[in-house]
Amino acid sequence: MREINQQVIEKIESKARRLRREVIRMVGIAGSGHPGGALSAADLVACLYFWEMRYDPKRPDWPDRDRFVLSKGHAAPLLYAVLAESGFFPPEMLGTLRRLGSPLQGHPDMRKLPGVEASTGSLGQGIGWAVGMALAARLDGRDSRVYVLLGDGELEEGMVWEAVMAASHYRLGNLVALIDNNGLQIDGPLSDVMSVEPIGDKFRAFGWETREIDGHEIGAILHTLNEARQVKDRPFAVIARTVKGKGCSFMEGQVDWHGKAPTPEELERALREFDSV
């Protein structure tokens, strides 16, 4: 097992910062999109792509790769930023987000862009895809691991729990679900709209191994992903407490920034914040 040290942590922190900056820039240029939930998940996704997962950008269809499914497909700009940063396609393409004919669709399209493992955007379905991929890996005798990122509001979809049940029934030790527990959905805080707490207890009741961590603490995320590798007979859920809009002062914790693009002035201000760190 590779050593998690301060140097590793700082490297991933700086990657996550780059992803956030890129997310805001892309959404700003596109003039629409979902910055809040992309920013809250940036540290989790940076840990997956710059530490945890096995993949080869030159062979996006390599059968032995690990899979990442963005079940909360509206965070597409984050997925595109990390795929470009990892070398799946040239970063210049990021500027085409949401344009007619662009492979960077408003929600991820696996037939249009290399590195995208699942066409998502309709909430609740990605975790079912992940169960299917984990079953297939086992069937083929591959040691590929499958990671799926869900929103906390997304957990309100009944079919999420159908997939949670199936993952546990089939003892999918190669499956890790990460919950971006930012506490907000579109109509407001989950606690007002439709409460899903206690999330950890629910997963445990379904037979999952769980950890509840700070989703912005790189060290904690990496250690938890290591722990997940030790659990071989059950699926593993990481319930990551996060802040929606994390990293952009005027977006943090604001429900309005779920699905709204910054104006040119706001974009400039946000980028200045990143560049002054």
Ligand X SMILES: Cc1ncc(C[n+]2csc(CCOP(=O)(O)OP(=O)(O)O)c2C)c(N)n1
**Residue 6 tokens, joined:** 């301060």
When CB distances to ligand X are compared, the closest residue is 151
Footprint of another protein on 16-35 (CB under 8 A): 30-33
Beta strands 175-181; 146-151: pairing state: parallel
Least distance CB 118 / another protein (angstroms) = 11
Strand, helix or coil for residue 213: strand
Which CB, 152 or 157, lies closer to Mg ion?
A: 152
Cis peptide leading into residue 198 (ω within 30°): yes
CA 205 to chain centre: 24
Footprint of another protein on 117-136 (CB under 8 A): 119-124
Cross-strand partners of 210: 237
Letters for 253-272 (x = contact with Mg ion by CB under 5 A, - = none) are --------------------
Which CB, 151 or 173, lies closer to ligand X?
A: 151
Instruction: Judge whether 193 and 220 are in contact, CB under 8 Å.
Output: no
By CB under 8 A, is residue 153 in contact with another protein?
A: yes
Least distance CB 246 / Mg ion (angstroms) = 12
| Rg of the chain (C-alpha set) | 17
By CB under 6 A, is residue 184 in contact with ligand X?
A: yes
Letters for 61-80 (x = contact with ligand X by CB under 6 A, - = none) are -----------x-x------
Q: How far is CA 150 from CA 40, 89, 239, in A?
A: 12, 24, 10
By CB under 8 A, is residue 186 in contact with another protein?
A: yes
Per CB under 6 A, the list member of 28, 124, 128, 173 interacting with ligand X is 124
